[in-house]
């Protein structure tokens, strides 16, 4: 029936006698979260380093770092992916459509709305950046979030 309270005050391993084990669903979640982070890094690179993106990002050049802290960027994408994977698992039962395509696309669009679209609209209000730059970022973000949503749906298809 779940974890039992220990009869010892701070009994050995803590307050609960049973401890979560690394394996099974937890290991799957960690692997998918890290793999999703790597996909995130690759998509960020492809979508932001191509010639079109570079040309459209020119207005940001005066604010941009001269060298990107790569380790920090990778860590942020992996942590972000782990959070998104957990949120996907929590919300998956409520998505319309099938468990794979319906859930993946629904989650991707939801993540895109809150992560990408709201950020782009905030930047549009605050900064004088050309509309085509915002539109590219919105479209690229949609591709990225839907791809991640589909990845989570496919890899978590049998996850309970």
pLDDT digits (tens, 9 = 90+) for 69-93: 999 999 999 999 999 999 999 999 9
C-alpha Rg value of the chain to the nearest Å: 20
Question: Which residue carries 């978590």 as its tokens?
Answer: 156
Q: What CA–CA distance (Å, rounded) separates 160 from 154?
A: 13
Q: What CA–CA distance (Å, rounded) separates 103 from 20?
A: 28
- Give the residue-averaged pLDDT of 47-60: 94
Output the pTM of the full model. 0.81
Of the chain, the percentage scoring pLDDT greater than 90 comes to: 71
With b meaning 16 or more CB within 10 Å and e meaning fewer, what string describes 117-142?
Answer: beebeeebeeeebeeebbebbbebbb
Query: Tens digits of per-residue pLDDT, 86-118?
Result: 999 999 999 988 888 899 999 999 999 999 999
What rounded mean pLDDT belongs to the chain?
87
The yes-or-no verdict on residue 119 having pLDDT over 90 is yes
Instruction: Provide the pLDDT confidence category of residue 68 given band limits of 50, 70 and 90.
Output: confident
State residue 14's pLDDT score. 47
State residue 80's pLDDT score. 97
State residue 10's pLDDT score. 45
Which sequence spans correspond to the domains of the chain?
25-155
Instruction: Provide the pLDDT confidence category of residue 21 given band limits of 50, 70 and 90.
Output: low
């Amino acid at each position: 029936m779940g974890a039992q309270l220990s009869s010892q005050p701070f009994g050995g391993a803590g307050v609960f006698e049973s401890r979560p084990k690394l394996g099974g669903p937890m290991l799957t979640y960690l692997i998918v979260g890290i793999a999703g982070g790597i996909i995130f890094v690759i998509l960020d690179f492809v979508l932001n380093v191509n010639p079109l993106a570079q040309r459209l990002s020119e207005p940001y050049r005066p604010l941009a770092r001269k060298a990107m802290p790569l380790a920090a960027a990778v860590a942020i994408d992996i942590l972000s992916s782990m959070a998104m994977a957990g949120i996907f698992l929590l919300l998956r039962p409520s998505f319309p459509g099938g468990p794979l395509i319906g859930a993946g696309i629904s989650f991707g669009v939801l993540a895109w709305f809150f992560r990408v679209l709201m950020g782009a609209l905030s930047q549009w209000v605050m900064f004088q950046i050309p509309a085509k730059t915002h539109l590219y970022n919105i479209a690229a973000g949609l591709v990225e979030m839907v791809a991640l949503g589909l990845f989570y749906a496919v890899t978590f298809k049998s996850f309970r």
